[in-house]
Amino acid sequence: MLFEYKGHIHIHTRFSDGSRLHADICREAIAAGLDFLIITDHNVWVDGLEGYYGDDRDGRVLLLVGEEVHDVRRQPPGNHCLVFGAGQEMAQHASDPQAMIDAVNATGGFCFLAHPIEIGSSLLRGGELDPLGWQDWEVTGYTGLEIWNYMSEFKSHLTGKLAAIRSSYQPQRYIRGPFGDTLKQWDSLLSQGRQVACIGGGDVHGSTYHLGPLERTVFPYRSVFQSLNTHLLTPKPLTGELNQDRDLVLSALRQGHGWVGYDAAGETAGFRFSGQGFRREGIMGDVIALSRGGLTLQVTSPELGHIRLLCNGTVVAETAGRTNLLFQTSEPGAYRAEVFTRFAGDKRGWIYSNPIYVRRRAQS
Ligand SMILES: [Zn+2]
Ligand SMILES: [Zn+2]
């Protein structure tokens, strides 16, 4: 039996350039119905704040603290890395991304490359509106990619003053899914036989921007928590005990037992992607060795949608207007599922699963 939890990863507080503090952000998360949050302030790991926030009446949320590390002197800027589970400050390693990833792994923690591909804003330059993608793709040892970053996508729409005003007032009309180039990069890494997990993040700051006389808080915390989340499956339920629950959440994240869901377009809870063969089975994030008779992969969507199954980046099966897709295979590769839905008058990326890694028996 698996237990399902919805959380938001990649959040900034006033300890870096966010606009609010941890307890306040937890209140917004509880109102948005989240089970967990992972704070990732820029180049600062804030100790002593992890735990459950809220109460029995309004609900509780588990707050964990990671870090977003980057070299502030790097030119051009970029190489932002999300660090989880290190339990200590990692920013001192920022100038050498490979050394930083190795140092994080040595603590027992793990890394996801943040907003790995960015377009940036062509209207406003400077600071966080510049493209801040990953540059040093030769690094190894990271756990995964942040395949969908809400802020990156928003920035890419800031092409002119009118577009900026429109997209900040009606973001739902402009948010469509991960960048095609990010998915291409992910598939390229998967095709090399690597295991690369995925998360989605808001990169939420709750910042207020000014454009002439207009003032607008772009993406308040609660609205982002109701939009793009990372859903996890755990083998045991969360109990309310910090150390045990931290392990469950971080281990599911590291193993890729979950998916990225754009919950604004429809709640993605209940999504499943699994594989079954003779005496072998697994869920997204797992390695499954091919057995006699091959393997049946199954995608289950919580609502009708356009479901696609990809192997190493190539679509191998798809179905529209259904909640289920079954596919039999005897081919190894990294299989991942995508579901599209209609929202705000258009077709949107809705669910992006972690891969199931189907391997030949000898490699298992
Ligand atoms: Zn960043
Ligand atoms: Zn960030």
CB atoms within 10 A of CB 275: 22
Please identify which residue in the block is written with the tokens 């596919």. Answer: 327
Question: What CATH topology corresponds to 3-265?
Answer: TIM Barrel (3.20.20)
Ranges for all domains in the chain classified under CATH 2.60.40? 272-363
What pLDDT score was predicted for residue 130?
A: 79
Q: Which ligand is nearest to the CA of 72?
A: 1
Q: Which ligand is nearest to the CA of 81?
A: 1
Q: Which ligand is nearest to the CA of 129?
A: 1
What pTM value is reported for the model?
Answer: 0.95
CA gap 63, 162 in Å, rounded: 37
Q: Which ligand is nearest to the CA of 201?
A: 2
Ranges for all domains in the chain classified under CATH 3.20.20.140? 3-265
Tokens of 10: 């990649």
Distance 166 CA to ligand 2 centre (A): 23
Tokens of 288: 């499954």
Q: Which ligand is nearest to the CA of 224?
A: 2
Distance 206 CA to ligand 2 centre (A): 12
Q: Which ligand is nearest to the CA of 207?
A: 2
Q: What is the DSSP letter of 256?
A: T
- Any residues with CB less than 8 A from the CB of 357 and at least 6 apart, and which? 195, 286, 287, 288, 334, 335
Distance 3 CA to ligand 1 centre (A): 30
Q: Which ligand is nearest to the CA of 118?
A: 1
- Any residues with CB less than 8 A from the CB of 320 and at least 6 apart, and which? 305, 306, 307
Q: Which ligand is nearest to the CA of 132?
A: 1
Q: What is the DSSP letter of 144?
A: E
CA 351, 333, 193, 353: dihedral to nearest 10 degrees?
10
- Secondary structure class of 99 (helix, strand, coil): helix
The full DSSP string for 260-294 is EEEGGGS--TT-EEEEEETTEEEETT-EEE--TT-
Under the phi-then-psi rule, with left for phi > 0, alpha for psi from -120 to 50, and beta for the rest, what region is 95? alpha
Q: Which ligand is nearest to the CA of 128?
A: 1
CA gap 307, 160 in Å, rounded: 34
Distance 81 CA to ligand 1 centre (A): 7
What pLDDT score was predicted for residue 363?
A: 46
Distance 52 CA to ligand 1 centre (A): 26
Residue 167, burial from CB neighbour count under 10 angstroms (0-12, 13-18, 19+): buried
Q: Which ligand is nearest to the CA of 205?
A: 2
Residues with CB under 5 A from ligand 1 (ion): 80, 114
Distance 287 CA to ligand 2 centre (A): 30
Distance 42 CA to ligand 2 centre (A): 7
Distance 276 CA to ligand 1 centre (A): 38
Distance 200 CA to ligand 2 centre (A): 12
Give per-10-residue mean pLDDT for the chain (364 aa).
97 94 97 98 97 94 98 93 98 97 98 93 71 94 97 81 75 87 98 98 83 76 95 98 98 98 97 94 97 94 98 98 96 98 94 97 58
Class assignment of domain 272-363? mainly beta
Distance 203 CA to ligand 2 centre (A): 5
Distance 127 CA to ligand 2 centre (A): 12
Evaluate whether 255 touches 262 at the Cβ level (below 8 Å): no
Q: Which ligand is nearest to the CA of 127?
A: 1
What pLDDT score was predicted for residue 124?
A: 67
